[in-house]
Structures are given as structure tokens and as C-alpha cells.
Amino acid sequence: MVFNLAGAEAERKATVGVSVRSVEESKFPFIGQTGLSASLETLCSNGVRSPIYAADSSVQAIYVVSGSGRVEIVGFNGVKMVAGVKVGHLLVVPKYFVIGKEAGEDGMECFSIVTNLRPVIEELAGKASVWEALSEEVLQVSFNVSADFEKMFISKAANSN
């Protein structure tokens, strides 16, 4: 009933200077009985985690284990909360809200519990961005922007890591 999350291999590099280690039922069968999953996210000095959201209505509880930084959580209608965080702070990210993180000088490490065995976490920037899946026309109409602006936006989103 013990899993060394800190010793687990980083599954993916979310962005430059950020590593994510997670545990799911396939690695730790006991966690499957809880209906939860967990991850440990490490941001190097001044590292930035691309904004992410849970596409499956999961709620995320995040505890700052070490370091400090800044988080920005954006909800419906663009309402946002920006806060400085440090060791011992606990954040709750409601379902469908977006969160971005920026580490301070000493970096930042966060432990997260997600209310889903297999959460669907999507990035809003970088090569894994959900924007990549949408057609040019859909983006242009959805955001009422020109073709030139849409191309520039996608280029910047794809190259953000």
C-alpha cells in the first residue's frame, strides 16, 4: 500500500523545465480502489507549466510540497484568480477550470490528487495542445479572428515548449 511517486520515472516532459510523475491503477493497484489518481509535478527555477484542464470533469487538489511560485486559475467566462503560492498551500481546481503554474527562483514541486482513475488532462499550449485538433476554419469562426491571426496563434501555441 505504498508507492514511491518521487522515485517514479517521469512519464513525460510537459514543457521545458517541467516533469510530471503520475500513478494510476496499472502501476499501483491499491489506488484503483479509491477512484483517485495522483501526480507529482516538478518545475525547475522559473519554470512555466503550460495551462492545463481536466476534460473529464475531474476536480484536482494540489498541495505545494516545495519551493514557491504563482498560479493562475481561470474559470467560466474568463474569471480568473492569480495567487502566489508556497510550501504548505493547498489549491482546489474545480472541474473544467484551467490552471497554469510558474515556479519561483527555487523551483516548485506540487503533489496533486485527481478525482478520476484515468483523468483526461489537456494542454492549451505546446505540441500536445487541443488547438492542434481543431480545423483552421473552426478556430477562425469560434474566435471571430482572421486567417492570419489564427495561423500566428497556432504557431505560438505549438512552439511554447
Residue 158 lies in a domain: yes
Q: Are residues 139 and 88 in the same domain?
A: no
- Evaluate whether residue 46 is within a structural domain: yes
The candidate with the shortest Cα–Cα distance to 113, out of 52, 48, 23, is 23
pLDDT value of position 97: 92
**Taking 70 as the threshold, does the pLDDT of residue 15 lie above it?**
no
Q: Which band of pLDDT confidence, cut at 50, 70 and 90, is reported for residue 160?
A: low
The answer on 143 and 157 residing in a single domain is yes
135 and 99 in a single domain? The answer is no
d(CA 12, CA 141): 33
Tell the burial category of 142 from Cβ atoms under 10 Å away from its Cβ (0-12, 13-18, 19+).
exposed
Q: What length does the chain have?
A: 161
What one-character-per-residue DSSP string does 71-118 give? EEEE-GGG-EEEEEEETT-EEEE-TT-EEEEEEEEEEEEEEEEESSSS
- Bigger pLDDT: 36 vs 123: 36
Q: Would the pLDDT of 79 be above 60?
A: yes
Same domain, yes or no, for 19 and 39? yes
Q: Do 56 and 73 sit in the same domain of this protein? A: yes
Residue 56 within a domain: yes
Domain co-membership, 99 together with 130: no
Task: Say yes or no to pLDDT of 158 above 70.
Answer: no
Tens digits of residue pLDDT in 119-155: 888 887 766 666 667 778 887 777 777 888 878 777 7
Q: 7: how many CB neighbours lie within 10 A of its CB?
A: 8
* Average pLDDT, rounded, for the chain: 86
Please give the residue range of the domain that contains residue 140: 125-161
